[in-house]
């Protein structure tokens, strides 16, 4: 069976899209649909299978204060890191795009946090945030500030983690 020339091009196009479509469905759409389906069931435990419970899981979630706190924390994290990372990246890109002595070294300095493994980044920032002798406590001590547990305090842990994320991501966004 011969295909019309226009139809043949369409078939080739769909065949070229098929691998990407298969990956997209396998790793995004299928997990999303199955997660949504399972969210309407109870959790299977031991020999007891999952049973359909409808919206009970969602009612329990809406009544849980931990859910609302985590939603609030995620919203604050997104609102604090995304605009700041993009603004800082734009500023860095403008700075390194002009005539600047040592421009290659400045670009390297800006992009280095992006290529560092997360374990290295965690150790660097742990040095900053360590109570008593970390860099922040050492710098703030002459101004009368005492030792502070930056990552162990509810009021400071989120801004500290946001600073790490902005520092790590701004160089990557600068490239774009």
Residues 6 or more apart in contact with residue 21 via CB below 8 angstroms = none
Phi, psi of 52 (to 5 degrees): -70, 125
The 10 Å Cβ neighbour count of residue 23 is 10
The closest of 34, 33, 51 to 42, measured between CA atoms, is: 51
Q: How confident is the model at residue 7 (pLDDT cuts 50, 70, 90)?
A: confident
The 10 Å Cβ neighbour count of residue 120 is 11
pLDDT tens column, 107-131: 888 888 989 998 999 999 999 999 9
Positions of CATH 1.10.3720.10 in the chain? 64-176
pLDDT at residue 3 in the model: 64
pLDDT tens column, 40-94: 999 889 889 999 999 999 999 999 999 999 999 999 999 999 999 999 999 999 9
4-31 mean pLDDT: 89
pLDDT tens column, 156-169: 999 999 999 999 99
Eight-class DSSP state of 139: H
What is the residue whose two structure tokens read 């009970």?
A: 56
In the chain the first and final C-alpha atoms are separated, in Å, by: 48
pLDDT tens column, 26-40: 999 999 999 999 999
Please state which architecture CATH assigns to domain 64-176.
Answer: Orthogonal Bundle (1.10)
């Amino acid at each position: 069976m011969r295909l019309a020339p226009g139809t043949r091009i369409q078939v080739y196009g769909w065949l070229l899209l098929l691998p990407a479509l298969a990956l997209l469905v396998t790793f995004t759409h299928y997990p999303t649909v199955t997660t949504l389906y399972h969210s309407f069931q109870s959790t299977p435990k031991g020999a007891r299978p999952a049973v359909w419970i409808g919206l009970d899981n969602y009612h329990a979630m809406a009544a849980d204060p931990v859910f609302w706190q985590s939603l609030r924390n995620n919203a604050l994290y997104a609102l604090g890191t995304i605009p700041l990372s993009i603004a800082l990246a734009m500023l860095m890109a403008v700075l390194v795009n002009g005539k600047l002595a040592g421009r290659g070294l400045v670009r390297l300095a800006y992009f280095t946090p992006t290529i560092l493994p997360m374990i290295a980044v965690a150790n660097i920032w742990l040095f900053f945030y360590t109570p008593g002798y970390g860099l922040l406590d050492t710098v703030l001590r002459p101004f009368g500030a005492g030792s502070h547990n930056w990552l162990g305090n509810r009021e400071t842990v989120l801004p500290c983690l946001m600073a790490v994320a902005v520092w790590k991501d701004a160089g990557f966004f600068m490239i774009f």
